[in-house]
Amino acid sequence: MKPIVIGNWKLNPTSLSLANTLYTDVQKGVARLRKVEVAVAPPMVFLSALAEKAKGKKTFLVAQDVFWEKLGAHTGEVSNAMLSSINVKHVIIGHSEVREQGETDDEVAKKVSATVKAGNTAIICVGEKERDDHGHYLALVEDQIRMALQGVPKTKLGNVAIAYEPIWAIGTGNTATAHDAHEMKLFIQKVLSDMFGRTALSKIRVLYGGSVNKKNAEELYTQGEVDGFLVGGASLKADNFIEVAKIVDRL
């Protein structure tokens, strides 16, 4: 599995024209990288226009969320089939900012199950609000993973990635240490191996997200031994994001 660097643009930028520029700049900057996959997750409303630009390009597109039903009376929602129809095959699910708006573990599970069934890839975000000395944060991450993957058959594990995003590190500048990231990667792999057997480990990437930028990416990648990054704030500056991708490509 190649490592992957994904930029989560969240509710940015403010117009399609700015989104076009950001996408084009990123695409130019990473066009020659061969050892890393690069993707960006723009707001839903920009996806189809950017999907036209992304045809045949290295930088592919990721949706920031998806609904579990295929069609029907679900105002405001977007389905996996709709995403696939514009060649968007990857979806972020369970981001802490969406969970914060009330998304439950059960809904995350339905979204994940619908996504892998549709042949798309679910990038499942997990992570604790805070750490404690008793390891409760580990139990919470384990629960999130077990719930999210409850409807995923072993044959679909290639359509899953886990992004460990400690909430205390998101948008705060408080990155987890490389040691924290590495410890959690091993823990997540243990949970996956308990659930599906060791072969799962060669199929599921474990990413880190939380204030990643061009300054901390090298240490987090080499010592954290993660399979890539989910980058928020720093992905809005093309040069910063390109540099993170270049670091992963080089290492």
Q: Which chain residues interact with ligand PEP by CB under 6 A?
A: 8, 165, 170-171, 209-212, 230-234
Name the residue among 159, 145, 250, 248 with its Cα closest to residue 195: 145
| Peptide bond between residue 42 and the one before it cis (omega within 30 degrees of 0) | no
Concatenated DSSP letters of 8-23: E--S--SSHHHHHHHH
Q: How far is the CB of 130 from ligand PEP (least distance, A)?
A: 16
> Which residue minimizes CB distance to ligand PEP?
232
Active-site residue among 37, 97, 128, 165?
Answer: 165
Of the pair 125, 200, the CB lying nearest ligand PEP is at 125
Q: How far is the CB of 99 from ligand PEP (least distance, A)?
A: 12
Q: Give the chain's end-to-end CA distance (angstroms, integer).
A: 14
Residue 95 is among the residues annotated as catalytic for this protein? yes
In angstroms, how far is CA 109 from the centroid of its own chain? 16
Q: Phi/psi of residue 165, each to 5°?
A: -130, 90
Residue 69 is among the residues annotated as catalytic for this protein? no
Of the pair 3, 233, the CB lying nearest ligand PEP is at 233
Active-site residue among 95, 97, 128, 182?
Answer: 95
Q: How far is the CB of 145 from ligand PEP (least distance, A)?
A: 17
Contacting residues for 28 by C-beta, under 8 A, at least 6 apart: none
Q: Phi/psi of residue 201, each to 5°?
A: -70, -25
Structure token pair of residue 46:
């920009």
Using alpha carbons, list the distances in angstroms from residue 43 to 48, 91, 203. Answer: 10, 12, 28
Of the pair 8, 115, the CB lying nearest ligand PEP is at 8
220 in helix, strand or coil? helix
Q: How far is the CB of 124 from ligand PEP (least distance, A)?
A: 12
Q: How far is the CB of 241 from ligand PEP (least distance, A)?
A: 10
Of the pair 230, 247, the CB lying nearest ligand PEP is at 230
Of the pair 204, 236, the CB lying nearest ligand PEP is at 236
Query: What is the DSSP secondary structure assignment for residue 235, as one 8-state letter?
Result: G
Q: Which residues are catalytic?
A: 95, 165
